[in-house]
Amino acid sequence: MANPLMQENVWLQRQRFEEAEAHYYSVMAGTANNNQGGGSSLSKEITQARQQIQNALNQPGGQGGASPGRIDALEKENRDLKKVTADLKAMILKLESRVGALEKGGKGDAPAAKPAPAAADDDDDDDDIDLFGSEDEDEQAAQAERKAKLLADYAAKKAKKPVLIAKSSVVFDVKP
């Protein structure tokens, strides 16, 4: 036959189930006391945070996460960047001085080309034979003087001419 208690409507462990339900709701609300852990979850989190802070402060260098090797690398990079910046500044100052000299009409760093003196031949053995009918030495000296005078006149004319400077123009198209 059937079990006689099966039809009975009595809840024998009601107290235990009500305590379990109360504990469940208190855990969900974050106010439950865990007797096994010795405190609430909030106090555990605070304890863990304090421990992490102590660990970070006790690390070598006291930086928490920055290692000395990384700091040295950053300092070296900083020095390199400062050197590059100083080099660029010096280069800009040099260019400004050159542009200023060019605007004043100076020749800047490009001196006028001077004719190189002709190399003297030590072999005078062939001077008595004139195969191509060249002019004599007096005419060559006069021609060299005329050439020097023309070069001097050309250099003076070039010096009077204003030097063309590269210019840039920027046009902004502003629309309402």
Q: Above 80 in pLDDT, residue 130?
A: no
Per residue in 27-36, pLDDT (tens digit) is 888 886 655 4
What's the pLDDT score for residue 128? 67
As a whole-number percent, the residues of the chain with pLDDT over 90 amount to: 24
- What pLDDT digit, counting tens, does each position of 55-108 carry? 888 876 555 556 778 889 999 999 999 999 999 999 999 999 999 999 987 554
The predicted model gives 151-161 an average pLDDT of 88
Instruction: DSSP for 94-110, please give it.
Output: HHHHHHHHHHTT--TT-
